[in-house]
Structure 1
Amino acid sequence: MSTLTALARAQAVASGRAQPIATVRHLHVHDYPLVLVPLAMAGEANAPLAALVGADPDKPELLVVTQPRDRDERFRFADRLGQILVAYVDMFADATEDVPIDRGKDVRTRYADAPQLWVPNPAGVDFLRLFGRSTRFRTVDGEHPVPASVPLLGRWLTFFATSAEVPGSSLLVNAVQALGLHWATGQSGAEDAQLGVLLAWIQEGAAAARAVENGPVAGPATDPDFDNKVLAPLIERSAPELPDVLRELMLPTWERMWRVLDLLRRLPVGSRVGQRWDSDRDVYTAFAQHVADGGAPQPRRDGAVAAAARLQRLESAASRYAVQRAFDDPLVLAEYRLAGAAFAGTVTLAAPDRIDDSGKRPVLRPRIMVRTAESVRVEPGTSLTSPSRPSQKARVISLAPVPVTGETDVLLELSGGMGRKLVAEPGTVPAVGERVILTTLTEEFRRGGALPDPTETPWTHGGPPPPQDPQVPAVP
């Protein structure tokens, strides 16, 4: 937990209301999302019991497995869920757009939009991951055939669950995590996992949250008392009223999911959210085309090289996401200012037309002086970036304390982001009196380490993998 988040939690306890920890929305919220509230049977590994699913808040479809241990019923459940999900994701595999690449020399095509799936909490994501793994390898012929929609459902659920591991991705979103990204309550993280309680903290306060603590669960787990006193007798006698009981249990969570979406839509969106959604559309396009071309399902486990490459991509995405959030949101950037990785100050001197002719050819290298009252924990030679000018680098030349005031004068040399001439474009060099924020964070692309070809996997990591079909497109 960060310092400011801890402070916000303390303020939430004192005031009885959740406190904002972000000034903008850090995720994409689709205009037409698919909401899925899953419910699993207690004591059974990934045995589906029911699901409320749909893209219309007024028309949820209830899917029920009246006998969760009955294999045929479970696959009928998977069949219907697969029909709904595949129909939804296929809606976006229609309109396309051209994206310029290689500095405009070429173009590539991607779908103009992508699907977005919402579940109540992280446990819902885990349920989808396990359910996808248990269905994507099922066959439509042979000894135990299943409908064609079942393995297709498994592949799409695996795709969404895998994308949820990528920091900043909005293809599969859980409501608890989305709210926790923007508000802090006066309770523990474990208590925040109850969607009803978390939402009550944000919209009504601590008193309302206490009132819903013992209300219907958000799934996929059920309450033990409900299991023993209500669910077990209904399943045992195959009671026809079981679907109505489950609908009544799940409807509060369904309604809260749409309240979460409305709440998040009211927040101003961060400027870099669109970039991340573009990446999500790229990923969706690649996988949809892979499925359409008859590609193989995702492997049961990654090989050594594929696992290393995936870890590298996840680490890169996490670093990039943290920087983008800080650049989008001054409240997030404040954490880095507290840690000394960023500081704010006022430009007191500026030489926008300074030319450095010490090299083979003259280059534009303006210098500015920034006075700050904050702690500056950088050394001369450090490269800094301003969120307002992310393509420009500011190299620290010197630091000098200001007598009496205790402030610090930081002399910086600028490069990049000013055009290609020896005269800076208007507005590219901070003017005297301008308030600037400078940080060691950067959005600059960092190339990952070189990995061997999968056919050259060392024996310490299992040796070369056996020949297999082409793998699913990698998630960036």
Structure 2
Amino acid sequence: MSALSSLAQLEATATGRARPLATVRHCHLADAPLVMVPLKLAGEAAAPLAVMLGSDPDAPALLIVPQPRNRDLRFRFAAALGRRVLNHIETSRGDVEELPPGKDGEERIRYGGAPQILVPNRGGIGFLRLLGRSTRFRRTEGPYAVDPEVPVSGRWLTWFADRNDRPGSSLMLAMTEVLRRHWATGQSSLEDGNLAALVGWIDPPDGLDGFAAASRAEDPITCPPSGPTTDPTFDNEVLAPAISAYSESNGDSRAEERVRAALASQLTPTWDLMWQAVGLLRALPEGASVADRWERDRDSFTYYHQTFGEAYPQARRDPPVRAAKRLHDLERAQEAYEAQRAFDDPLVMAEHRLAGQAFGGVVTESDPTRLDESGKRPKLRPHLRVRTEDPVRLDIGTTVCNAARPAVKGKIVEFGTGGILMELTGGMGRKLSPEPGSVPDVGDSVCFTALTVGSWGAAKFPDAEDTPWTHGGPPEEYVPTDHDAAEEWR
């Protein structure tokens, strides 16, 4: 936790109201996201119990499994859920955009839109990940055949969960995590995992402050858990008798309706909270870099949608080369995401200034036309001196960039009594005179930081057939087996 976050948390405790950690929204919100509130059977990792979902806050759909231990009912639920997920995917594509040819000369396209799934918390993402893993290998022919939507939607759920691992992606979001990036509450991070308590701190009901709203959220009758786990008292006193009655009635519609009503009472409060949270986030202006990250999400969605039928379902485990590439991509995405958030938002940048990884101040000296003539050709190398009171923890020679214009880069030359002297090295144009506005003038307020986007390029990895012996040698080609298809729901 940074000093700024700690201060915001203390202010929230003192005022009884959450304090902002951001001035802009650092994620994309679709016009019609698919909100999903899942529940699972207690004691089972991926046995579905119910889900409330939809893109209209006034018209949620409720899918249930009246007897979660019945295989046929589970897969009937999975098929119904799959149809709705696939429908959301198809209706979210938008128009096709034609892009300039890539480096290989091939024409490219990108969908104008992409699907977005919102769930209450990390547990919801974990449950959907397991549900995808438990259904994507299922067979549509032969013994224990399932509806075609089941394995297809299972592959898509796995893909959504994998994209959630990528920092900055907005294709699948856990609402508690998104809210915690934008507000600080007066409670612990563990308590922030309760959506009702978190929203209560940010937007408490009339007559209540954050403390009272969070205390109210601890009552499972007033604010049932946000899933995917259920309240033990509800399980024992309400749900178990209703499921037993359904089993004893051999599927009587009235017994099923009893189970449905019980589950609706648990899901509806969270459904309302989800849309309240969406409204809170929509009230924040979108950060400048969010559109670029959403563009990459749309690229990924387009590629996966176009190549969906050309590959087997995702393997249980990545082979060594693919795993190394994935880890490398995630690390690069994390670096870029942290830098972009700071460039978009002065409150986020303030955290880095307090940590000594950025500094702000006033330009006291500026030599925009200085040339370095030590080499064969002169190079434009302006000098800039910035007076700052920030606790700078950067070394001489560290590469920094202008937060207002990240393309303008330089290096620290010296720390003196008059401020920090920098030599600008790039982002000012290709001529021996800088482009207008690229070099700050004396008296300008500036902020420079060691945060950069793409400071290290893509690494080169061997082809799969060249996997070294230290990593098991070339892996065998993955082909789904009967064991994959028989994977249990736990």
Structure 2 Cα separation of the partners of residues 6 and 101 of structure 1:
48
* Alignment-mate amino acid for residue 392 of structure 2: V
User: 242, 265, 273: which one pairs with 2:290?
Assistant: 273
User: 435, 438, 445: which one pairs with 1:428?
Assistant: 438
Does 1:206 pair with 2:211? yes
Match runs of 1:108-123 below 5 Å: 108-123=108-123
Q: Quote the offset at 1:182 in angstroms.
A: 0.5
Q: Quote the offset at 1:166 in angstroms.
A: 0.7
Contact 2:335 2:454 in 1 (8 A): no
Match runs of 1:268-347 below 5 Å: 268-291=285-308, 293-347=309-363
Q: Deviations over 1:162-214 (max 9, x none)?
A: 11111111000011001001011111111111111110111012212211221
User: 390, 402, 415: which one pairs with 1:386?
Assistant: 402
Q: Quote the offset at 1:445 in angstroms.
A: 4.3
User: 215, 220, 227: which one pairs with 2:235?
Assistant: 227
User: 260, 264, 268: which one pairs with 1:251?
Assistant: 268
Call closer, same or farther: CA 1:441–1:243 in 2, change over 3 Å. Answer: same
Structure 2 Cα separation of the partners of residues 183 and 101 of structure 1:
42
Structure 2 Cα separation of the partners of residues 190 and 376 of structure 1:
32
Call closer, same or farther: CA 1:377–1:197 in 2, change over 3 Å. Answer: closer
Q: Quote the offset at 1:98 in angstroms.
A: 2.5
Structure 2 Cα separation of the partners of residues 67 and 304 of structure 1:
41
Call closer, same or farther: CA 1:397–1:104 in 2, change over 3 Å. Answer: farther
Contact 1:343 1:439 in 2 (8 A): yes
Q: Which moved more, 1:317-326 or 1:64-73?
A: 317-326
In structure 1, the residue matched to 2:486 is none
Contact 2:2 2:351 in 1 (8 A): yes
TM-score normalised by the chain length of structure 2: 0.91
Match runs of 1:57-456 below 5 Å: 57-100=57-100, 108-204=108-204, 205-214=210-219, 215-238=223-246, 239-240=255-256, 241-291=258-308, 293-402=309-418, 409-456=419-466
Q: Deviations over 1:418-441 (max 9, x none)?
A: 222222121111011100001111
Q: Quote the offset at 1:377 in angstroms.
A: 2.7
Structure 2 Cα separation of the partners of residues 103 and 307 of structure 1:
25
Structure 2 Cα separation of the partners of residues 236 and 324 of structure 1:
53
Q: Quote the offset at 1:11 in angstroms.
A: 1.7
* Alignment-mate amino acid for residue 477 of structure 2: P
Q: Quote the offset at 1:371 in angstroms.
A: 1.3
Q: Quote the offset at 1:268 in angstroms.
A: 1.3
Q: Quote the offset at 1:363 in angstroms.
A: 2.0
Structure 1 Cα separation of the partners of residues 39 and 284 of structure 2:
30
Q: Quote the offset at 1:92 in angstroms.
A: 3.1
SS in 2 for 1:323: helix
Q: Which moved more, 1:369-378 or 1:159-168?
A: 369-378
Structure 2 Cα separation of the partners of residues 300 and 103 of structure 1:
32
Q: Deviations over 1:76-126 (max 9, x none)?
A: 000000000001101233511133466999862111111100000000000
Q: Quote the offset at 1:222 in angstroms.
A: 0.3
Match runs of 1:452-463 below 5 Å: 452-463=462-473
Contact 2:45 2:127 in 1 (8 A): no
Structure 1 Cα separation of the partners of residues 396 and 354 of structure 2:
20
SS in 2 for 1:229: helix
* RMSD (Å), alpha carbons: 1.8
Aligned length: 463
* Alignment-mate amino acid for residue 268 of structure 2: L
Contact 2:26 2:287 in 1 (8 A): yes
In structure 1, the residue matched to 2:207 is none
Structure 2 Cα separation of the partners of residues 295 and 444 of structure 1:
30
Q: Deviations over 1:348-386 (max 9, x none)?
A: 121112222222122222212211122333333222111
Structure 2 Cα separation of the partners of residues 356 and 437 of structure 1:
24
Structure 2: gaps (5+ residues): 205-209, 247-254, 481-490
SS in 1 for 2:448: strand
* Alignment-mate amino acid for residue 260 of structure 1: A
Q: Quote the offset at 1:231 in angstroms.
A: 0.4
In structure 2, the residue matched to 1:39 is 39
Structure 2 Cα separation of the partners of residues 81 and 284 of structure 1:
20
In structure 1, the residue matched to 2:9 is 9
Q: Which moved more, 1:326-335 or 1:54-63?
A: 326-335
Call closer, same or farther: CA 1:32–1:333 in 2, change over 3 Å. Answer: same
Contact 1:9 1:184 in 2 (8 A): yes
Structure 2 Cα separation of the partners of residues 366 and 103 of structure 1:
34
Contact 1:93 1:288 in 2 (8 A): no
Contact 2:26 2:341 in 1 (8 A): yes
Q: Deviations over 1:375-401 (max 9, x none)?
A: 333333222111111111122222211
Structure 2 Cα separation of the partners of residues 2 and 104 of structure 1:
45
In structure 2, the residue matched to 1:474 is none
Structure 1 Cα separation of the partners of residues 334 and 298 of structure 2:
18
* Alignment-mate amino acid for residue 251 of structure 1: T
Structure 1 Cα separation of the partners of residues 106 and 441 of structure 2:
38
Call closer, same or farther: CA 1:388–1:101 in 2, change over 3 Å. Answer: farther
* Alignment-mate amino acid for residue 180 of structure 1: R
TM-score normalised by the chain length of structure 1: 0.94
